[in-house]
Amino acid sequence: MNTISSLLNEDWHERYRRIANLNIRSSIYDLTNRCNLRCKGCFFFSSGEHIVTEEMDIKKWEHFIDKEKARGVNLAILIGGEPTLCMDRLEAFYKRLPTYCATNGLIKVSRDKFPDMMVGISLWGGGEDEKVLRGKDTFAVSSKNYEGDPYTYYLYTVTPRQVGKIEPVIKRIVDVGLKVHLQLLSNDESVDGFYWRQGELDDLRFEMDEMLDHYPQTIISSKYYHEVITTGMMLGRRFGWEECPSVTESLDTRKPPVRRLIHFYRWAADLKTIHRCCTSATRDCSTCKDGAAHMSWIMVNKREHMNTTRDMQNWIEVYEMFAKLYRLIPW
């Protein structure tokens, strides 16, 4: 029987201890159905998940959040639509729970009101890809809004067209004093020219590893995460519906039970509807490239990584990456 101390030296064991008891209970909330962009490939609008009647009464939001807190949620992940269009709801969450806001960065979150709220700014590549997919180069605006902010990072969704071109984007982020995390486009709306081919994914993995070596102070990532997200494989298992941990608990009828995020829900902005998972129910799970789902997949399979020292170290690095993204441990 392998134990942690039989696999890790004292340094690694200390790193393990730092994260082993975090006990994160996250859930995702669509803060609004509205957005100030309409990006091609955005699962929220392509899936029709925005078609619910948005709850407008802030008191009902406050009551809802209190109930979520009582349910054990200790990390609220706010998406949308664009969460910064509803600052009162954002504030209601922030006052009650550790909160992460996923935004396109076009509207600045006031640091007077939200001094340490984690902000993740979506970025879909360099200026040209951003114009094709999102209608504008959002970086030009978001980088001005958040330059040097210690609680903000870019969530860079790499597209097939970006392979071989990541470094200039990373450099722009370095220049504005922010961090970046990498994930892959899932192309939910079948935009021409944005499908992944396996060779591209192999090249991208190599490129992401290289960037991590060159910019370790800027990129929040791990090589094992790169491997899993580009291959869709972990310890000989393939990602898909039978494996995904990020399924809303009450909708998870899989048998046998799958290792999953405990008490995870994704709520719609009517505060009644629940969505299947952290992305959209219309997405084919076998081609899903969602970074958070793959990260969580690794994290919930801790004991499966206790076969070798390298496997366990890989697991720790991914968990640390997650913990850094939410500033649960320092960058």
Partner 1 sequence: MPERIATEGIIRHVAEIIIGELKLEDVTPDTFNPDMDLVDELGIDSMDLATIALVLQDEYKIVIDEDDYPKLKTVRFICEYIEEKLAAKC
> Which of 298, 136, 306 is closest to 222 using CA atoms?
298
Shortest distance in whole angstroms from residue 62 CB to partner 1: 23
Query: What residues from 189 to 218 belong to the interface with partner 1 (CB under 8 A)?
Result: none
Interface region with partner 1, contact rule CB under 8 A, candidates 18-26, 96-104, 156-164, 290-298: 18-26
The binder of partner 1 chosen from 18, 161, 223, 259 (CB under 8 A): 259
Asked if 253 interacts with partner 1 (CB under 8 A), we say no
Structure tokens at 105: 């960065």
Q: Which two tokens stand for residue 69?
A: 């807190």
Binding span for partner 1 by CB under 8 A among 13-21, 53-61, 96-104, 140-148: 13-21
What is the SS3 assignment for 254?
Answer: coil
Cis-peptide, bond into residue 160, ω within 30° of zero: no
Q: Which of 58, 233, 235, 262 binds partner 1 (CB under 8 A)?
A: 262
What minimum distance in Å lies between the beta carbon of 302 and partner 1? Answer: 5
Rank residues 97 and 173 by Cβ distance to partner 1 and give the closer one: 97
- Give me the 296-325 binding string for partner 1, x by CB under 8 A, dash otherwise: ----x-xx--x-------------------
Size of the site for partner 1 (CB under 8 A): 17
| Angle subtended at Cα 322 by Cα 316 and Cα 218, rounded to the nearest 5 degrees | 100
133-139 own/partner pairs: CB under 8 Å, 24+ apart: 133/39, 133/40, 133/41, 133/159, 133/191, 133/194, 134/37, 134/39, 134/40, 134/104, 135/37, 135/38, 135/39, 136/37, 138/37, 138/104, 138/105, 138/106, 139/172
Q: Kindly state whether residue 233 participates in binding partner 1, applying the rule CB under 8 A.
A: no
For the segment 60-99, give every residue that binds partner 1 (CB under 8 A): 72
Q: What is the CA angle 43-285-163, rounded to 5? A: 70
Q: Does 5 bind partner 1 (CB under 8 A)?
A: yes
Instruction: Note whether 260 binds partner 1 by CB under 8 A.
Output: yes
Interface residues toward partner 1, by CB under 8 A? 1, 3-5, 16-17, 20-21, 23, 72, 259-260, 262, 300, 302-303, 306
